[in-house]
Amino acid sequence: MKVSGKTRVCALLGDPVEHSLSPCFQNAAFQHLGLDFIYLAFTVKAEDLRSAILGVRSLGFYGLNVTMPHKISVIQYLDELDENAEKIKSVNTILNRDGRLIGYTTDGIGALNALKYNGVNPCGKKIVILGAGGASRSVSFALAKEAEELVILNRTVARAEKLVSDVRHLIVRSEKIRWGGLTEENIRKELREADILINATPVGMSPNEDETPVNKKYIHPDLAVFDLVYHPLETRLLKEARMVGAKTINGLSMLIHQGAASFEIWTGIKAPIEVMMKAAEEELKRRT
């Protein structure tokens, strides 16, 4: 990679960022297409976010990804939000268009595209989402109009209820979106006729690989199981789902597809998904 005074800089801002795979697969995509871009990652503490965004403006950074804990707080420093970011009140991608910082969210479309890329069409399906945090929020907004029925289960029921209330403003048939507690009984009942299960909780993430949010006896072969966790690539939930014959999708697929959507916002060029996926997989293997 040749870097010059003409090289356009994109970056990830968050805390922490040391674990991020984004520099690996974004730079692989830039190099593959011969684009004069470079992608870096910067640790930015919450109290330094304002000055970091001022620095982005002054230095002329071309694009940004924003990760936890800044996806909401960064909005106050931007000039404009696209329609989806405005609805969800969350930003993970920023484009510097002639000095104007425009915020986008690609998390939801990343999940939707990951499902379709892996041969799972959510249109007209019953979808059960575990968790009601930031990841669940983005996914729920993206899938609400696609699903025939959407159920959000969370340990703190009030948080699930609030998320459902927010999502219901987007659709006509509000009764097709429901909430409940993340209990074994609700999981058993809701998964019986579910088509897609999405784990949007951190349960099963390294170093707690032995944990799972769902007892394997409730997983059936007609279920597609999508775990947003990508470290490890195959969580216990996915391993047990695969063993009963269910379709499985790991969290790396969503990470790559949301990154691809960011790439396309910055460059206006279709992202090389396979190149990005291969680079990320090789980096994960190297780390383990």
Residues assigned a catalytic role? 71
CB 233 within 8 A of CB 284: yes
pTM to 2 decimal places: 0.91
pLDDT at site 52: 97
| Average pLDDT taken over every residue of the chain | 94
Taking phi over 0 as left and psi of -120 to 50 as alpha, with beta for the rest, 129 belongs to: beta
Neighbours of 258 (CB within 10 A): 25
- φ, ψ dihedrals at 218, nearest 5°: -95, 0
Domain 108-249: which topology?
Rossmann fold (3.40.50)
In this structure, what token pair is assigned to residue 89? 């009140």
**CATH fold for the domain made of 8-105+253-287:** Rossmann fold (3.40.50)
Domain range annotation of the chain: 8-105+253-287, 108-249
Q: How confident is the model at residue 88 (pLDDT cuts 50, 70, 90)?
A: confident
DSSP type of residue 248? E
In this model, does residue 192 exceed pLDDT 80?
A: yes
Q: What is the pLDDT of residue 153?
A: 98
Task: Provide the pLDDT confidence category of residue 134 given band limits of 50, 70 and 90.
Answer: confident
